[in-house]
A and B are shown apart, each in its own frame.
Chain A
């Protein structure tokens, strides 16, 4: 038996290769200079005592020990990590849960569903910084729209972003409002790939909305759920802009909105009013976060893929 394709394959012209290489080079240079090199530098700095001015010596795992086991750094690390985990869980339940329900409603092509689709997706196109400022204004204790409305029914000024119990929730709410359209779109795309015959057959067999949603749609959109879960996880741990704009670099009040992104930025680059630069410790935090996110993502992908196959 001859290996047909080998004989039909045309040799790749070297000129074409050269052309492709020339086109790729600028992007590769940028990638190496501004992504790969800083990433590798962060790995290197994590093992040095380095304040951003002059590395003063190799100190092994000392930076890692400090951020994981030495107070107050370890307290600050776990406090920020806790908020990332809370963010992930909240976004999974409230953002993705709502997105699933909206996607299902849109799938049913209710009247005006195109308008609804646009409304749900519209905030996604706004920049996170603008969304942060917008919600910071809405939630202002004295002049914000939310408290003005609550004032009409006799509720006094609530310091949404100033109270430890409500600050993180307020920021999460803004985040959900901003991003809700994205998982909705991914899940809707997944739902639209389900054969209409399957849905109609289920209907003919007497399946109601709830049964259709849980027994037919949910299992059949497993790949979309995997994508949404992984992206939510990565997004929750890369979370920076909205907490920064709404509550500041220090994660105020009292660290209640601090997340790992803010904490490692603050540690590495310092601030004129909070601290001095520590690239070494900041890099150690970034490396830990990278390893953690990459590790959990790999495990989650493996598990979710297996679940997809089983279904």
Chain B
């Protein structure tokens, strides 16, 4: 064998050895999500993670939002599924934890849990054992989008109280502008609409009374708050009963409507749809001057580790990294979402303003407290709110329907 051949053989052997070694150490893990539109951002984030952990490669796999729960539950029930799974929060998560499909997270495996505020951790906690199973990924804030150009053109100032809201709306309508873009054509969006406008009339005391079992949705405070929604009808687009989420967004973005009750999760989308829009996101109108501004807040979901994952260690490493400030800073910058991680710097002016609103925000009552069993508060409210807005049932009836429906599983409401 010539020297050259020996050299080549040695080189080939060392390459094969190196390849085999890298195969032995490499962990290819998958990340499952319903957020198909976030692929590029997550791939960039995962590339950063791989740079710090060269042995671990993360594959982004997304599924349609509507079928996501079914796909995840079928896969997990069959012992499959992604290694890290993007989960929805509260009741959605709990059914999976109950079935034993997610790994509990603690400080020993995921030290970055310490970076999360307490109310964020609640969204990923299983009530029965008080353990965290999902690392929270974003808080969502519900409030009022303002088209600043429309207001400036009309010579008006965005309202801060309910009375101002009605007065401004009247003036806008007289000028041929829809004051409020919202309609009642999309069930889940209707639920947000209710939370946004009723929460400033309810206040934190009502939430405490409701969750401690002192009162129900039949409480006069809740009925009165629902009644206020009826006052909004003249300021919504004609045929508002049939205006859906997409149309409302278009009315706002095109400047045909001056305000839109919506969520911070749409800020990035609206900017991409109309980069020229000059918008603000503020707290909804307060009940009266001097009240604390009250937007609505909830946590959208988190990152959980599949308990059947063959690469659990690598998956836990990834989740831990997703709880670091480094991840949070870039996540907020790339996706325009508010990371709950403490100390995250939000450079975008509007987003940082939204994060400020969170400091005094009310909880999204239905999503946080009444999504654990069937029928959920969302099912009950979403079905009935359009009836109330079209005048076929009263706020009292709606409040009674929600209370009676929830009483099926929520003990404090039973017999009330």
Nearest CB in chain A to that of B242: its residue: A162
If over half of A's interface residues share one DSSP class (helix, strand or loop), that class is named, otherwise mixed; here it is loop
Most-contacted residue by chain B among A159, A252, A273, A277 (CB, 10 A): A273
The yes or no answer to B148 lying at the interface (CB within 8 A) is no
What 0/1 readout, one digit per residue, does chain B (156-196) give for beta carbons within 8 Å of chain A?
A: 00000000000000000000000000011111100100000
- Report B304 CB to chain A, min CB distance, Å: 14
- Report A24 CB to chain B, min CB distance, Å: 29
On whether the beta carbons of A271 and B69 are closer than 8 Å, the reply is yes
Nearest CB in chain B to that of A72: its residue: B405
- Distance A71 CA – B371 CA, assembled complex (angstroms): 18
Partner-contacting stretch, out of A10-18, A119-127, A140-148, A195-203:
A140-148
If over half of B's interface residues share one DSSP class (helix, strand or loop), that class is named, otherwise mixed; here it is helix
On whether the beta carbons of B101 and A275 are closer than 8 Å, the reply is no
Query: Which chain B residues lie closer than 8 Å to A143 at the CB level?
Result: 247
Partner-contacting stretch, out of A48-56, A173-181, A299-307:
A48-56
Nearest CB in chain A to that of B384: its residue: A254
The yes or no answer to B21 lying at the interface (CB within 8 A) is no
Query: Which chain A residues lie closer than 8 Å to B70 at the CB level?
Result: 52, 269-270, 277
- Distance A163 CA – B70 CA, assembled complex (angstroms): 31
- Report B404 CB to chain A, min CB distance, Å: 7
- Distance A271 CA – B92 CA, assembled complex (angstroms): 9
On whether the beta carbons of A53 and B101 are closer than 8 Å, the reply is yes
- Report A100 CB to chain B, min CB distance, Å: 33
On whether the beta carbons of A142 and B247 are closer than 8 Å, the reply is yes
On whether the beta carbons of B387 and A253 are closer than 8 Å, the reply is yes
- Report A263 CB to chain B, min CB distance, Å: 11
On whether the beta carbons of A156 and B373 are closer than 8 Å, the reply is no
The yes or no answer to B218 lying at the interface (CB within 8 A) is no
Given A270-B69, A274-B188, is A159 in contact with B392 using a C-beta cutoff of 8 Å? no
On whether the beta carbons of B91 and A276 are closer than 8 Å, the reply is yes
On whether the beta carbons of A161 and B95 are closer than 8 Å, the reply is no
Given A269-B69, A272-B92, A275-B376, is A162 in contact with B187 using a C-beta cutoff of 8 Å? no
On whether the beta carbons of A277 and B241 are closer than 8 Å, the reply is no
The residues in B between 365 and 404 inclusive whose CB is less than 8 angstroms from any CB of A are: 371, 373-376, 378-380, 382-384, 386-387, 390, 392, 401, 404
On whether the beta carbons of A254 and B65 are closer than 8 Å, the reply is no
Given A140-B242, A157-B239, A162-B239, is A53 in contact with B77 using a C-beta cutoff of 8 Å? yes
Given A52-B74, A53-B73, is A276 in contact with B239 using a C-beta cutoff of 8 Å? no
The yes or no answer to A164 lying at the interface (CB within 8 A) is yes
What 0/1 readout, one digit per residue, does chain A (58-89) give for beta carbons within 8 Å of chain B?
A: 00000000000001110000000000000000
On whether the beta carbons of A276 and B376 are closer than 8 Å, the reply is yes
The yes or no answer to B96 lying at the interface (CB within 8 A) is yes
Query: Which chain A residues lie closer than 8 Å to B373 at the CB level?
Result: 276
On whether the beta carbons of B390 and A254 are closer than 8 Å, the reply is yes
The yes or no answer to A235 lying at the interface (CB within 8 A) is no
- Distance A164 CA – B382 CA, assembled complex (angstroms): 14
- Report B95 CB to chain A, min CB distance, Å: 5
- Distance A73 CA – B405 CA, assembled complex (angstroms): 9
* Chain A, interface residues (CB within 8 Å), range: 35 or more
- Distance A72 CA – B384 CA, assembled complex (angstroms): 12
Nearest CB in chain A to that of B388: its residue: A254
Nearest CB in chain A to that of B401: its residue: A72
Nearest CB in chain B to that of A268: its residue: B70
The yes or no answer to A227 lying at the interface (CB within 8 A) is no
Query: Which chain B residues lie closer than 8 Å to A164 at the CB level?
Result: 386-387, 390, 392
- Report B223 CB to chain A, min CB distance, Å: 18
The yes or no answer to A241 lying at the interface (CB within 8 A) is no
Query: Which chain A residues lie closer than 8 Å to B186 at the CB level?
Result: 248, 252
What 0/1 readout, one digit per residue, does chain A (29-62) give for beta carbons within 8 Å of chain B?
A: 0000000000000000000000111100000000
The yes or no answer to A297 lying at the interface (CB within 8 A) is no
The yes or no answer to A220 lying at the interface (CB within 8 A) is no
Query: Which chain B residues lie closer than 8 Å to A250 at the CB level?
Result: 187, 382-383
Nearest CB in chain A to that of B241: its residue: A162
The yes or no answer to A255 lying at the interface (CB within 8 A) is yes
Query: Which chain A residues lie closer than 8 Å to B404 at the CB level?
Result: 71-72
The yes or no answer to B68 lying at the interface (CB within 8 A) is yes
The yes or no answer to A95 lying at the interface (CB within 8 A) is no
On whether the beta carbons of A142 and B238 are closer than 8 Å, the reply is yes
One of A53, A140, A269, A274 near B247 (C-beta < 8 A): A140
On whether the beta carbons of A52 and B77 are closer than 8 Å, the reply is yes
- Report A265 CB to chain B, min CB distance, Å: 10
Nearest CB in chain B to that of A274: its residue: B379
On whether the beta carbons of A142 and B374 are closer than 8 Å, the reply is no
Query: Which chain A residues lie closer than 8 Å to B379 at the CB level?
Result: 274-275
On whether the beta carbons of B242 and A276 are closer than 8 Å, the reply is no
Given A72-B375, A272-B65, is A162 in contact with B387 using a C-beta cutoff of 8 Å? no
7 A-B pairs within 8 Å (CB atoms) are namely: A142-B238, A142-B247, A162-B240, A253-B184, A255-B383, A273-B187, A274-B378
Beyond the given A253-B241, A277-B69, please list 7 additional residue pairs across the A-B interface where CB-CB is below 8 A: A53-B99, A72-B380, A141-B237, A141-B239, A272-B69, A273-B191, A276-B374
Residues of chain B touching chain A, judged by Cβ–Cβ distance below 8 Å, are 34, 65-70, 73-74, 76-77, 88, 91-92, 95-96, 98-101, 183-188, 191, 237-243, 247, 251, 371, 373-376, 378-380, 382-384, 386-387, 390, 392, 401, 404-405
Which 10 pairs, one residue from A and one from B, show the smallest C-beta to C-beta distance? A162-B242, A141-B239, A162-B241, A159-B242, A253-B386, A273-B188, A157-B239, A159-B239, A254-B387, A53-B99
Residues of chain A touching chain B, judged by Cβ–Cβ distance below 8 Å, are 51-54, 71-73, 139-143, 147, 156-164, 248-250, 252-255, 269-278, 281
